[in-house]
Chain A
């Protein structure tokens, strides 16, 4: 057992209102520079939809993540030699058109235009070339389905649905969607690291944050294709790749990352998970249907004496172990089993988990109204507004049982709480649902409290870093800054 710690995340999708506050908090701190205007390290997508960059989930297009070839796990992008042969032109690299061309407006024109018969206008100009631009797409133009069913229809997760199911989903009065905020998943088996020819990307062993060394990166851009979530970006100005750094300068000083801190819906949770690094490869090779369970088995019980001993042997401090014991992420993912990874079939073992949304699935509109009263909704698949198959494509590599189990528990918790406070549901109905979901009343109460009434320090259980001591004792702080990720002693200018 090789115990390591991972700063891990849970997003509760039922609580997300799609306001993009997280996106802007991140953008204000990290990506409002030349070369990064088009990057959104955090973005919020509407599902069903095509996302950003367009169709990022389609790995036949971008070749991200890993594939199982016989007994070997290989980057979908290609073998090492094949990859090197594509050094001068990567055929699977998403280009600016797949994101969007960043633009601004000629605001100055409004004041400096000469007197004329017409009002002056501020035309759109490209932020890259400065030339006039016909704005045709933006990073979130499929927001709330973008006013048409085009975006939703092109969602590749709907491919397995029958035509009837798909049409049912798109009937305008049935239309349903939910939001899914995305950041770097800080995976255990990252695709970006696996294909980086320079060896510039690395995972920090102490907390699992994945970073790009700006000094070592040579701009070969394979990480951009290799990340199946399209969360590494190429800075066209500096010629280096950049990605979400999980706000490590904030985390190291005890603050939650900007996107977490600013979340209006309070959907985000952060805490430490202990995992067994020895079994990463074995788990990443599990057949699709078993992947979610296999990844869960990788996460270790921080209260287990053997795990604690092994953690200490690996240099994980008592305060980190204590933090792992209080981790809200551990509760949601492992203890209660209601948080699921996004597209685990990419086999990168993402460490960001989503609690799937219950509401858009649950309600039916059989009588033309938004109807929550049906209790047998899992029995009749046609009354579901979002087919189970679709949710399974997103969150469980196609395994519908896992989704059913999760949603059953969420529904039971809701019923339990309704029985307690509103009385729409009777106590016996609620306890029947609880039994069916394999959930105790205490557990339901705990899930309810952490979902609806968490305080700031319940949502973000950040482990104490002791970088200041370690750094001060061993190395000059300025030098240390150079070594880890984004530390600049000079302006990050493009080479001549």
Chain B
């Protein structure tokens, strides 16, 4: 019963909250969208936290995405043991570096008085949820080898079944507890997304790569439109 709720209902609730929440926040309070960086207040520790964290998490998330989108491809890669070891090894190395980054960022929030003063309640909640996500992920990777292989028959079909609105909870029930937590925590993160600083992920300024350097705005022409 609990598992039906957690894997069959909760994902949809979290996803709905995320979509509605994001639209609501964007429409009512664009001002609140920001990276809310604290580099200005403290930069030495931030470097060792922020850089490994961000690059690590971007690559690991991309790895997850590739796994979900091309399970057959991953399977083909894993067909040769050496390639499997390289894939899993790289993933683990990235996860460990981003874990180090995250821990440094957490400690920094506590150590620097100025950074502490600008820390919101949601920042603390988010850091704890993220830490749980990273730790459960790393433990799964180390103790339940090899995730990139078995997920093709378990979590990925489950994930796709969510999209067809017929969640196959059975896939998840059989998995170890920590792996289940990793999945549930992910849905929790989706729910927290619009109400935390995570929204800055949507602001990645890719348009900067091709826009002209200067921006000039004509009030007259703008209002005539």
Are B40 and A214 closer than 8 Å at their CB atoms?
no
Confirm or deny: B29 has a beta carbon within 8 angstroms of a beta carbon on chain A.
Answer: yes
Within 8 Å CB of B43, what residues of A?
A: 89, 93, 95
- Binding stretch for chain A, among B4-12, B44-52, B67-75, B140-148: B44-52
Are A219 and B117 closer than 8 Å at their CB atoms?
no
Are B33 and A475 closer than 8 Å at their CB atoms?
no
- Binding stretch for chain B, among A54-62, A103-111, A128-136: A128-136
Chain A, 461-495, CB within 8 A of any chain B CB: 467, 470-471, 474-475, 480, 483-484, 488, 490, 492-495
Chain A, 198-251, CB within 8 A of any chain B CB: 198-199, 201-206, 214-221, 224, 234, 236-240
Confirm or deny: A286 has a beta carbon within 8 angstroms of a beta carbon on chain B.
Answer: no
Give Cα distance in the complex from A13 to B42, angstroms. Answer: 37
Give Cα distance in the complex from A203 to B213, angstroms. Answer: 12
Within 8 Å CB of B222, what residues of A?
A: 483
* Residues of chain A at interface, number, CB under 8 A: 65
- Binding stretch for chain A, among B76-84, B149-157, B159-167, B191-199: B191-199
Nearest residue in A to B116 (C-beta to C-beta)? A129
Within 8 Å CB of A475, what residues of B?
A: 223
Are B29 and A490 closer than 8 Å at their CB atoms?
yes
Within 8 Å CB of B220, what residues of A?
A: 205-206, 315, 470
Are B219 and A204 closer than 8 Å at their CB atoms?
yes
Which one of A81, A204, A237 lies within 8 Å of B217 (CB-CB)? A204
Confirm or deny: A96 has a beta carbon within 8 angstroms of a beta carbon on chain B.
Answer: yes
Question: When each residue 91-131 of chain B gets 1 if its CB lies under 8 Å from chain A and 0 otherwise, what string results?
Answer: 00000000000000000000001101110111000000000
Within 8 Å CB of A217, what residues of B?
A: 34
Confirm or deny: B90 has a beta carbon within 8 angstroms of a beta carbon on chain A.
Answer: no
Give Cα distance in the complex from A189 to B213, angstroms. Answer: 9
Confirm or deny: A193 has a beta carbon within 8 angstroms of a beta carbon on chain B.
Answer: yes
Within 8 Å CB of B174, what residues of A?
A: none
Within 8 Å CB of A234, what residues of B?
A: 37, 40
Give Cα distance in the complex from A131 to B115, angstroms. Answer: 12
Are B205 and A218 closer than 8 Å at their CB atoms?
yes
Which one of A216, A218, A236 lies within 8 Å of B200 (CB-CB)? A218
Give Cα distance in the complex from A238 to B197, angstroms. Answer: 12
Give Cα distance in the complex from A495 to B35, angstroms. Answer: 9
Are A219 and B208 closer than 8 Å at their CB atoms?
no
Please count the residue pairs between chain A and chain B whose beta carbons lie under 8 angstroms apart in the complex: 163
Confirm or deny: A451 has a beta carbon within 8 angstroms of a beta carbon on chain B.
Answer: no
Are A93 and B219 closer than 8 Å at their CB atoms?
no
Chain A, 172-216, CB within 8 A of any chain B CB: 189-190, 193-194, 196-199, 201-206, 214-216
Within 8 Å CB of A474, what residues of B?
A: 223-224
Are A495 and B33 closer than 8 Å at their CB atoms?
yes
Confirm or deny: A263 has a beta carbon within 8 angstroms of a beta carbon on chain B.
Answer: no
Nearest residue in A to B199 (C-beta to C-beta)? A495
Give Cα distance in the complex from A80 to B213, angstroms. Answer: 10
Within 8 Å CB of B197, what residues of A?
A: 495-496
Within 8 Å CB of B46, what residues of A?
A: 89
Confirm or deny: B209 has a beta carbon within 8 angstroms of a beta carbon on chain A.
Answer: yes
Give Cα distance in the complex from A203 to B216, angstroms. Answer: 5
Given contacts A130-B117, A205-B217, A206-B219, are A218 and B35 in contact (CB under 8 A)?
A: yes
Are A219 and B215 closer than 8 Å at their CB atoms?
no
Within 8 Å CB of B218, what residues of A?
A: 205-206
Confirm or deny: A84 has a beta carbon within 8 angstroms of a beta carbon on chain B.
Answer: yes
Give Cα distance in the complex from A126 to B112, angstroms. Answer: 13
Given contacts A219-B36, A239-B34, are A203 and B118 in contact (CB under 8 A)?
A: no
Are B117 and A494 closer than 8 Å at their CB atoms?
no
Among B29, B121, B197: residue with most chain A CB under 10 A = B29
Are B196 and A496 closer than 8 Å at their CB atoms?
yes
Within 8 Å CB of B211, what residues of A?
A: 199
Given contacts A88-B54, A130-B117, A214-B31, are A221 and B40 in contact (CB under 8 A)?
A: yes
Which one of B30, B203, B223 lies within 8 Å of A470 (CB-CB)? B223
Given contacts A205-B216, A470-B220, are A495 and B207 in contact (CB under 8 A)?
A: no
Which one of B35, B53, B54, B217 lies within 8 Å of A203 (CB-CB)? B217
Within 8 Å CB of A255, what residues of B?
A: none
A39 shortest CB reach to chain B, Å: 11
Chain B, 171-207, CB within 8 A of any chain A CB: 195-197, 199-200, 203-205, 207
A388 shortest CB reach to chain B, Å: 34
Nearest residue in B to A201 (C-beta to C-beta)? B215
Are A126 and B114 closer than 8 Å at their CB atoms?
yes
Which one of B33, B34, B40, B195 lies within 8 Å of A95 (CB-CB)? B40
Give Cα distance in the complex from A220 to B46, angstroms. Answer: 15
B42 shortest CB reach to chain A, Å: 8
Nearest residue in A to B39 (C-beta to C-beta)? A93
Given contacts A189-B214, A199-B205, are A240 and B219 in contact (CB under 8 A)?
A: no
Confirm or deny: A83 has a beta carbon within 8 angstroms of a beta carbon on chain B.
Answer: yes
Within 8 Å CB of B203, what residues of A?
A: 198, 218
Are A220 and B205 closer than 8 Å at their CB atoms?
yes
Nearest residue in B to A483 (C-beta to C-beta)? B222
Chain A, 107-123, CB within 8 A of any chain B CB: none
Within 8 Å CB of A75, what residues of B?
A: 213
Which one of B30, B37, B120, B217 lies within 8 Å of A215 (CB-CB)? B30
Which one of A201, A204, A218 lies within 8 Å of B33 (CB-CB)? A218
Are B219 and A205 closer than 8 Å at their CB atoms?
yes
Confirm or deny: A90 has a beta carbon within 8 angstroms of a beta carbon on chain B.
Answer: yes
Give Cα distance in the complex from A88 to B98, angstroms. Answer: 13
Given contacts A89-B47, A126-B113, are A493 and B34 in contact (CB under 8 A)?
A: no
Give Cα distance in the complex from A81 to B209, angstroms. Answer: 7
Are A128 and B51 closer than 8 Å at their CB atoms?
no
Give Cα distance in the complex from A84 to B209, angstroms. Answer: 8
Are A129 and B34 closer than 8 Å at their CB atoms?
no
Nearest residue in B to A99 (C-beta to C-beta)? B40
Nearest residue in A to B194 (C-beta to C-beta)? A496
Nearest residue in A to B222 (C-beta to C-beta)? A483
Give Cα distance in the complex from A202 to B46, angstroms. Answer: 30
Residues in A lying within 8 Å of B, measured CB to CB: 75, 80-81, 83-84, 87-90, 93, 95-96, 101, 126, 128-131, 189-190, 193-194, 196-199, 201-206, 214-221, 224, 234, 236-240, 277, 280, 315, 467, 470-471, 474-475, 480, 483-484, 488, 490, 492-496
Question: With contacts A221-B40, A490-B29 known, what are 6 further pairs, Cβ within 8 A?
Answer: A101-B114, A128-B117, A190-B214, A216-B30, A467-B219, A488-B31
> Which 6 residue pairs are nearest across A and B when measured between Cβ atoms?
A495-B32, A197-B205, A239-B34, A239-B36, A129-B113, A219-B34
Q: Please, could you name 8 A-B residue pairs with CB atoms under 8 Å apart, sorted by A? A: A96-B114, A128-B41, A189-B214, A194-B214, A221-B37, A238-B31, A495-B32, A496-B32
